[in-house]
């Protein structure tokens, strides 16, 4: 019984690996253009350098367990 279970699990894992490989190959074929990637990178840099007006974490004012 254990050998049969191992065979089924290995077959299932192989099908998952095959599906992941197909998805990876499809995503490489659908790459964005260089212009789009550069624009996205520039927007990320502007966002980081420009800085957000507030902190990432909220202030804990009026927190019930705060001091």
Tell me what the mean pLDDT of segment 20-26 comes to.
87
Q: What contacts 40, CB < 8 A, 6 or more positions away?
A: 32
Mean pLDDT of the chain: 80
- The CA distance from 43 to 67, in Å, is 40
* Paired tokens of 19: 């599906």
Q: What is the pLDDT of residue 14?
A: 93
pLDDT (tens digit per residue) in 40-61? 888 888 878 875 555 666 677 7
């Amino acid at each position: 019984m254990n050998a049969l279970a191992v065979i089924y699990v290995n077959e299932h894992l192989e099908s998952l690996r095959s599906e992941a490989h197909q998805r990876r190959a499809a995503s490489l074929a659908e790459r964005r253009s260089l212009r789009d990637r550069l624009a996205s990178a520039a927007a990320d840099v502007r966002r980081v350098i420009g800085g957000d007006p507030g902190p990432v974490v909220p202030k804990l004012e009026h927190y019930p367990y705060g001091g």
